[in-house]
Amino acid sequence: MGVLEGLGLGLETALTPANLLFCLIGVALGTAVGVLPGIGPTATIAMLLPITFGLEPVTSLIMLAGIYYGAQYGGSTTAVLINLPGESSAAVTAIDGHEMAKRGRAGPALATAALGSFFAGTVGTIALALFAAPISRAALEFGPAEYFSLVVLGLIASIALASGSTLKALAMIVLGLLLGTVGQDIYSGTPRFTFGQRELYGGLNFVSLAVGMFGVAEILRNLEGETKRTVTVAKVRNLWLTKEDVRRITAPVLRGTGLGTVLGVLPGAGHVLASFVSYSVEKRVSKHPQEFGRGAIEGVAGPESANNAAAQTSFVPLLTLGLPANSIMALLVGAFIIQGITPGPNVITDEPALVWGLIVSMWIGNLFLVLLNLPLIGLWVRMLSIPYGVLFPAIIAFASIGCYSLGLNAYHVYAVAFFGILGYFLIKLGCEPAPLLLGFVLGPLLEEYLRRALIISRGDPTVFLTRPISLVLLVLAAAAFVLAVLPAVRRKREDVFEDE
């Protein structure tokens, strides 16, 4: 199926009333959680997974994807108006966006964020449409050895790009891999790490782990530091850009879109990395670098375009290789599996309506976001006045009911509580839960491809080195590991020399 035929099928799928409605619901929820700091799209998607079981696969994925890229829009609104980024990728936008707001130019800043995001989202969607099918066809040439090496590369690259301690990120990956081995052996059926509990024979429940680690743990952390919020937002006027504004933002939007399109496919927080890199590039190429940090409109246009383009292209490895680029994509892998669909290179041929419908819905969702964000700015910001003490009990109750409905089994609710407490203590220790989720999702795949490759090669471990593609992927994984470890080693040596 060609790109034009695929887009035609996608339009037919995405424009059904149900899919349009859930696309709108998804982007509206995404905007809301982007505005509200402390909740975030990861926790929201994790808690909404149970209610998507009753929906058609394409409908549920359209809604969940809308929450993800909608949050990138929502985070910029409060970043500009009250210097409070709802999303980590919007932290860069706050630097110059809020300075513009203090000078009475909040309208142009928000218009720049919305229009730049729409353009970048459109380009990112086009890139996804153009490259999804060719990459899927190339991936069909991969065997078990190549897939094993690809998963190893994905895990190592996520460590290299993770923020914070490399050692802790590696520990979280290993813990996730270990949790993924709980249950019956995939070939012999022998129980592993079940401790005699029948509920563990089928493995740990993905939804319970995700809701606990990202929903409950985040709520506990926020409650610890919760303070009363007071929000006063003046009415935003003059949302139109002047000719000078358009001239100044054109090049940054194009550069940010290009950076985001490329960096979005990288494992880890590609959209966050893209926004920071874009800001650095704009400051470096600007003829007036002294304006940055004091209200430069380029400092809003570039990062906002970059993070939204990256949000779209992060779907490329998910839809073509079945590999999640970040924790949110890992949740979407779980959503695929829950719906009985195995993500990977065969999806685009086995489920063309789902893949192309999802791709086209992203463009429709970006259009919805422009219409939602600019006219309803006051509404989104007023949401910050809702006391967190009112929000969190409703969120936990909603998540518990959803998890219980998985199998009408209280065990799933106990699992949510357990992983919530575990996630809270991991956060307190400075460990990111995202690598753990990636390890948990990719662990069973890693084991399956390893054992398949060894069975085919009659137990010869050199199969991973004698196959050229597998060897290249392992060399790249080794290089990524060295890049991740060297800065930590260098800092340790510098600390030793300073002590001497």
- Closest by Cα among 289, 292, 293, 261 to 274: 261
pLDDT at residue 442, as a whole number: 78
Q: Are 207 and 334 in contact (CB under 8 A)?
A: yes
- Closest by Cα among 326, 338, 329 to 358: 329
In the chain, what are the domain boundaries?
A: 3-144+192-432
Tokens, residue 103: 């000078």
Per-residue pLDDT of the chain (500 residues; tens, 9 = 90+): 677 788 888 888 888 999 999 999 988 888 887 776 556 677 777 777 777 777 888 888 888 888 888 877 777 777 777 666 656 666 677 778 878 887 878 778 888 888 888 888 888 888 888 877 777 777 667 788 888 888 888 778 767 655 567 788 888 888 888 888 888 887 777 888 888 777 787 778 777 787 788 777 877 877 776 544 444 455 566 667 788 888 888 888 899 898 888 877 765 556 666 777 788 788 888 887 788 877 888 888 888 888 888 888 888 777 777 777 677 777 788 788 777 787 777 777 788 888 888 888 888 888 888 787 767 766 766 666 667 677 677 777 767 776 776 666 778 788 888 888 888 888 888 887 777 877 887 788 788 888 888 888 888 888 888 888 888 888 988 887 887 777 654 454 344 334 44
Q: Are 193 and 181 in contact (CB under 8 A)?
A: yes
pLDDT at residue 237, as a whole number: 62
Q: DSSP letters of 84-120?
A: --SSGGGHHHHHHHHHHHHTT-HHHHHHHHHHHHHHH
Q: Are 415 and 216 in contact (CB under 8 A)?
A: no
pTM of the model: 0.69
Task: Compute the half-sphere exposure of residue 14: CA atoms within 13 Å on the CB side of its CA.
Answer: 25
Q: Are 323 and 136 in contact (CB under 8 A)?
A: no
* Burial class of residue 49 (count of CB atoms within 10 Å of its CB; 0-12, 13-18, 19+): buried
Residues 132-148 as b or e (16 or more Cβ within 10 Å = b): bbebbeebeebebbbbb
Q: Are 314 and 270 in contact (CB under 8 A)?
A: yes
